[in-house]
Structure 1
C-alpha cells in the first residue's frame, strides 16, 4: 500500500484531520484542516513530506476553519467540497463566532468536486463521492487500492452525522451511506470526522442507525 495517512484530532471538537501521502513521492494532502496548523505542519516536516493540496469533505468550522490561512501561507490549492456547501463557506466567520473558534479566513475553493471525480497525490488516486445529508455539499474520498475511505461526518463508529443543521437531510444521509458507502465493500476501513476508525462491514452489522441495510 503506497497510500499512507496519519489522523490528528484538532480543535476543541476533536475533529479528525488526516494527512495523506504517497510513500513513493512523499507528496501529501491534508484533509479537513480545522485548526492547530502549527501542529499539522510540524508533522508534515517531521515526516519529510511535501504538502501539495488541501482536500475538504465539507465546510463546517471544525473541518474547514484553518483552510484559508493554510492555503494563503503555503500557496496550496483548495480541493472540494461540492458547491452545495458554498453557503457554509460564506458563513465561516459567523460559525467561528458562534462556536468560539479563532476567526476563519475567507477562501474560495480552487476546484469544486462532483460525484465521480478523482483527486491525485503523487502516484495515488482517490475517488470522490458526493454524500449529502450532513451538509448539502459533503464529499467522501475513497482509495480503492488502500481500502480506505475518508468520510468526514457522514458516518461514525456506531453513529451517523447530524442532520439538524441548515441544509441537512436525514433521508439523504441514509441514502448516501447505503447507496454510496456500502458498495465500497465491507472490508473498507473508514476514517470518520470524529472518533475511532471502523469498517463498513462492522457498521452494516452493528450500527443502530444504518445496520442491516
Structure 2
C-alpha cells in the first residue's frame, strides 16, 4: 500500500498535523500545519520526502496558522478548505493575537475544495467531503485504500467538534457526521484534529453525541 502518514501534534493546542505521502514517489503533503514548522520540515527531511502541497481541513488558527508562512517560504500551493471559511482565513492575524500564537499570515488558497473533489499526492488519491458545522467551510480527506480519514475538528474519540464559534451549527455538524462520514464505513480509522485515533464504528457505538446514529 503506497499511502503513508505520520501525525505530529503542533502548537499549544496539540493539534494533530499529519504529513501524508506516497511511498512509491516520496511525494508528500501536510494537512493542517498550524505551527511548529521547523519540526514538521525536519520530519519531512528525515524521511526523504518531497513536500509539494498544503491541505487544510478548516481555517482555525491551530490548524492553519503556519500555512501562509510555509507556502511563502517553500513555494507550495495551499489546497482547501471550502470557500465558506474565507472569513476565518482573513481573521488569522487577529486569531493569532487573541490566542497568543506567533503572528499568522492571511492567504488566499491556491485551490478551494468542494464536496466530491479529490486531491492527489504522488500515486495516492484522497476524496474530499464538505462537512460544515464546526466551521462552515470544513472539509475532510478520505483515503479509501488504507481506510483512513483525516477529519479535522468534526469528530473526536468520544466527542465532537465545538459549534459555539462564529457560524458554527450543531445540527449541521451532526448531519455532516451521519450523512458524510458514516457512509464511508464502520471500519474507517479517523485521525481527528486533537487526541487519539478511533474508528467510525467505535464512535457510532460509544460516542455519547452520536451514539446510535
TM-score by length of structure 1 reads 1.00
Other-structure match for 1:140: 140
In the alignment, is the contact (CA less than 8 A) between 2:118 and 2:127 conserved in 1? yes
In the alignment, is the contact (CA less than 8 A) between 2:147 and 2:188 conserved in 1? yes
SS at match of 1:13: coil
- 1:151-181 Cα shifts (integer Å, max 9, x gaps): 0000000000000000100000000000000
Other-structure match for 2:187: 187
Other-structure match for 2:123: 123
Aligned CA-pair RMSD: 0.4
Other-structure match for 1:112: 112
How many Å apart are 1:122 and its aligned residue? 0.1
- 1:18-44 Cα shifts (integer Å, max 9, x gaps): 000000100000000000000000000
SS at match of 1:125: strand
In the alignment, is the contact (CA less than 8 A) between 2:17 and 2:33 conserved in 1? yes
Other-structure match for 2:52: 52
Other-structure match for 2:80: 80
SS at match of 1:42: helix
Q: How many residues align?
A: 213
How many Å apart are 1:211 and its aligned residue? 1.1
SS at match of 2:40: helix
Other-structure match for 1:7: 7
How many Å apart are 1:105 and its aligned residue? 1.3
Distance in 2 (alpha carbons) for counterparts of 1:92 and 1:55: 16
Distance in 2 (alpha carbons) for counterparts of 1:16 and 1:148: 14
How many Å apart are 1:131 and its aligned residue? 0.0
In the alignment, is the contact (CA less than 8 A) between 2:91 and 2:106 conserved in 1? no
Distance in 1 (alpha carbons) for counterparts of 2:2 and 2:159: 30
Alignment of 1:84-103 (within 5 A): 84-103=84-103
In the alignment, is the contact (CA less than 8 A) between 2:15 and 2:34 conserved in 1? yes
How many Å apart are 1:106 and its aligned residue? 1.8
Other-structure match for 2:42: 42
Distance in 1 (alpha carbons) for counterparts of 2:130 and 2:193: 16
Distance in 1 (alpha carbons) for counterparts of 2:120 and 2:87: 26
Distance in 1 (alpha carbons) for counterparts of 2:41 and 2:17: 12
TM-score by length of structure 2 reads 1.00
How many Å apart are 1:5 and its aligned residue? 0.2
Distance in 2 (alpha carbons) for counterparts of 1:83 and 1:146: 28
SS at match of 1:128: strand
Distance in 1 (alpha carbons) for counterparts of 2:75 and 2:110: 11
